Copies of this chain bind each other. A is one copy, B any other.
Amino acid sequence: MTETARSTSTDVARRAGVSRATVSYVLNGRSDQSIPEPTRRRVLDAANELGYVPHAASRALRAGRSRLVLLIDADVPWSTNITDAEDALTAVVAATGRSLVVWRRHGPGDLAATLANLEPCVAITLQPLDVADVSLLAGLHIPLVTADLGTPGADSATRVQLEHLAGHGHRRLGYLTTSEPSLQQFAGPRTAGFLAAAAGHGLAAPVVVALQGASAPDVRDVASVLSDWTSRPDPVTAVACFNDLHAAACLAAAASLGLTVPDDLAVIGLDDDDFAPFTSPALTTVRLQPQGLAHHLWALATHLLDEGPEPDPFAPPGRLVERASVHRPPTAPTERKP
């Protein structure tokens, strides 16, 4: 196999015996141009035989917009839900002929450099950017789609947490969350949603504690919180957590205090991470369904791009995954997945 050059639309035109314009009309399937079937076929065959693929950069230059969609990920710890959301978004975007690529920001100054290399694209972010970044995008005329998860009621998953605990008779609740700045975008609405749901069920306001720690809290810190909560006059009997990692820390802390889960203390997580079946006891948690979020985000994007209709506000629904950390299951705490 010799060193062959990339074939261009000029090569296709020459091989099909037509002009380059005709090639463009055929391959872009324009209906306002009359192209007889034999010619159309000649062009298509030539393109196939040459393995012609339009040059992305050239096309982006001409169109003023590339077919890339940049997902700007914050530098936060991963969870199943984030990768699920990414996968769903990848599929949705691919269905429109575009491609989603993910960029994890590394420092504050990197965004400008990255955009300079991607430029005529579309950007999506799962958490709000600060003012400087937004004006950066505006200066380059890059449309930005933001998942506004901060709207009231946006986090219905915490309602699922609360309803499960309340349904099992727990009246005095604790909420364990994080004080990590980069996670506040998620932590804020979740805490608010949990408190609102508790109020809606006529429960006393849950006690909330936010612990530091870049990805996970320290077990000793959690133990001291639990020790405090369970030794009150009206002891906390159930703890809902910001995510599964916090819940796992909570289980470890309970064990170190000699508390039995779920009898002395119920614990519920959020995310359904891969390790959730393997904690002791196996973690009851709530799984988000990010496929809907992906469709919502892309609807927002098309609204910005092609003037599609503005989509309704959207709250990703949560699905309860019942294991053994809120109440004892009828059988052994091991599980068999489908």
Interface residues of A (CB under 8 A from B): 6, 51, 53-58, 60-61, 66-68, 70, 75, 77-78, 83, 86-87, 90-91, 94, 97-104, 106, 110, 112-120, 139-141, 213, 215-216, 218-220, 223, 244-245, 248-249, 251-253, 255-256, 273-275, 277-280, 282, 332-337
Give min CB distance, A200 to chain B, whole Å: 31
CA distance A77 to B87 in the complex (A): 12
B106, B120, B273, B337: the one within 8 Å of A57 (CB): B120
Q: A61-B57, A140-B53, A336-B220 are in contact. Are A117 and B98 (CB under 8 A)?
A: yes
- Provide 20 A-B residue pairs closer than 8 Å at the C-beta atoms, listed in order of the A residue: A6-B140, A6-B141, A51-B139, A55-B119, A56-B117, A66-B117, A83-B104, A99-B103, A101-B101, A101-B103, A101-B118, A102-B102, A102-B104, A218-B337, A220-B334, A244-B275, A248-B279, A251-B280, A273-B275, A280-B280
In the assembled complex, the CB of A260 is this many whole angstroms from the nearest CB of chain B, namely: 13
Alpha-carbon gap, A118 to B103, bound state (A): 14
Q: How far is the CB of A142 from chain B (nearest CB, A)?
A: 10
| CB closest residue in chain B, given A77 | B274
A202 → chain B closest CB, angstroms: 33
Q: Please tell me if the beta carbons of A113 and B97 are within 8 angstroms of each other in the complex.
A: yes
A245 to chain B, nearest CB (A): 6
Which residues does chain B contribute within 8 Å of A58, judged by CB atoms? 57, 61
The 5 closest A-B pairs by CB, nearest first: A57-B60, A248-B278, A56-B119, A101-B101, A67-B117
